[in-house]
Amino acid sequence: MAQKLLTNPILKALAKTPYGTTDGVERDSKKVIARYFGGAAFVCYVLEDDHFFKEYKEGKNDRMVPTSTDEANISDLKNVFAAQSVGHGLELGCTSLKEVFSLRFRPFGLGVERDTSVEPFKYTLGELRKMHGEDWL
């Protein structure tokens, strides 16, 4: 059975972190929602929503929050704000999980996996980065 890359806890965590939620938070202090990895060097730490959902409404503190976390409200692009690396150091930026999930790595064409030990908001980016020996670009 294939591993589920997007779980209900991940979807709910994304709904709680609209884009800009972690503005002003030092990069290693940002809480991680999910960690994806593949191949010899690819890693992606999901930090907050960046138009992951199709429809939004105004929420607390004038932040736009998704109208629902139902599959029907998930955007085709699935954009998130993340820290990613392909082996040369982590970079912060927007990425499409649709593209991340479609990656295949040589020589066997294996895809991306979800780190099941990482639960939403359990670790900071700095803690996970040190655990896995990853540096900033």
**Nearest residue to 6 via CA among 49, 42, 41, 40:** 49
Residue-level pLDDT at 1: 47
Domain assignment present for 53: yes
Give me the count of residues in the chain.
137
Which residue segment(s) compose the domain that 73 sits in?
A: 8-21+31-121
Instruction: Spell out the per-residue pLDDT of the chain, length 137, in tens.
Output: 468 999 999 999 999 999 999 999 999 999 999 999 999 899 999 999 999 999 999 988 888 999 999 999 999 999 999 999 998 999 999 999 999 999 999 999 999 999 999 999 999 999 999 999 999 98
Query: For the chain, what is the domain count?
Result: 1
Q: Is 129 exposed, middle or buried (0-12, 13-18, 19+ CB in 10 A)?
A: buried
Domain assignment present for 2: no
Query: Is the pTM here over 0.85, yes or no?
Result: yes
Domain assignment present for 1: no
> What DSSP state is assigned to residue 35?
E
Residue-level pLDDT at 137: 83
Beta strands in the chain (DSSP E): 34-38, 42-49, 56-58, 64-66, 79-86, 91-96, 113-114
